[in-house]
Amino acid sequence: MAKDNRPLFVSIFKAMMIYCVLVWIWALALIYAWPWQKGGEWLPEFPIVAVCAPETSCAIPYGKIGEARHNGLLMSLTPLTDTGEIVLDYGTLNWQLGNGVIESRYAAWNFQTTVRYRLQDDLPVLLEYQNIAGRTFLYALGGALFSLIGIYLRKLRK
C-alpha cells in the first residue's frame, strides 16, 4: 500500500506560504526604512516633470533640460498639477508638489528612485534622494528566511 504524503505536502506548502508573506513584510519594511541621501549629483538620465509645448505635462531627462529649452520644447519646470503620473518607456514617473518641494518618483519593476528637489531660477536643485534597487528584494528574501527559521525553531522548543 502506498504511503500517504499529504501531511508532508501540507506542512511544506504552509511553510512556503508563510515565507511568501514574510518576504512581502520584509520588503515593505526595508523600502520604508531605506535611508535618504542628502544632496549629491543629479543622474543625467533621471526624468524631471516639466511643461512641454503645447501646455502638457512631460518628462525631460535632467541632462537634456538645456537642449529642450534651446529647441523650444520646454516651457517650464513647474508642474501643471500638484500630483500626477506619466508613463515612460521603462517605468512611471509620479510627482507630488508641496511647500515648494517637488517629490518625484521614477519606478520600474526592478528599481525605484525618489528625489526631492526645489526650483531655483527655473532650475531643479537636488535636496535629497532615495535609491531602492533589486538588492533590497534580496535582503528581504534573506530576512524572511531568517524569520521563518526562527519561527520553526521556536515551534520545536515547545
Would residue 69 count as lying in a domain? Answer: no
Q: How far is CA 84 from CA 29, 56, 92, 102, 158, in A?
A: 25, 12, 10, 11, 53
pTM (2 d.p.): 0.74
Full domain range(s) for residue 143? 7-34+136-157
Q: How does strand 83-87 pair with strand 74-76?
A: unpaired
CA 3, distance to chain mean position in Å, is 48
**Residue 16 included in any domain:** yes
Q: Is the peptide bond before 61 cis (omega within 30 degrees of 0)?
A: no
Residue 127, domain member (yes or no): no
**Domain assignment present for 22:** yes
Does any domain span residue 20?
yes
Residue position matching grid coordinates 507630488: 96
- pLDDT tens profile 70-118: 888 888 888 888 999 999 988 899 999 988 899 999 998 778 889 999 9
**Mean pLDDT score, 129-158:** 88
Other Cβ atoms less than 10 A from the Cβ of 124: the count is: 20
Q: Would residue 140 count as lying in a domain?
A: yes
Q: Total structural domains in the chain?
A: 1
The residue behind cell 549629483 is: 41
Distance CA 82, CA 74 (A): 18
Asked whether residue 50 is domain-assigned, the answer is no
The mean per-residue pLDDT over the stretch 121-128 comes to 89
**How far is Cα 102 from Cα 49, in angstroms, rounded to an integer?**
9
Domain presence at residue 130? no
